[in-house]
Amino acid sequence: MAPITLTAGTPKDILADNVNVTSKVTITMPTQSDGKAISYTTEPAVSLTSLADPTNFRPGRMVVNIRLSKASAISPPVKLSVELTQTDVGRAKGQKFKVGYHDGRQWVVLKDNIPCAVGNTQVELSKVGDPPIGVAP
């Protein structure tokens, strides 16, 4: 897939395609301190069972596998809005949600103590690279 360049302040929906996006995911880039743009590509879906879990983060589903690209540091962070669905709520059985990304070695929690309810939650990404993003439980 060709890189998609983000426009500062304009939300962009990440389309459900080969990455198995199963709920609405929107990315927004604030104006970068160096004035440079960020682009992203979606990467093929990865198997959750193939990713290490030393921190006890057990994602119930993959949200998206996205690669952020920029020639310099991402500052301020990109905002990612993730829809929590009725299926997620049913799977969680009252447990609070966490959203995290996999850094190649382990899951890193971006946000936790998210109420077990249908709706959107926002997280921030500031790492150039390829973080598969998941939601747990």
Among the residue ranges 85-94, 103-112, 118-127, the one predicted with the least confidence is 103-112
pLDDT band at 21 (very low <50, low <70, confident <90, very high): low
Q: Which two three-digit tokens encode residue 71? A: 């020639």
- Whether 121 and 114 have beta carbons less than 8 Å apart is answered as yes
Per-residue model confidence (pLDDT) at position 54:
66
Q: What is the amino acid identity at position 87?
A: T
For residue 34, pLDDT over 70 is answered with yes
Q: What pTM, to 2 d.p., does this model score?
A: 0.87
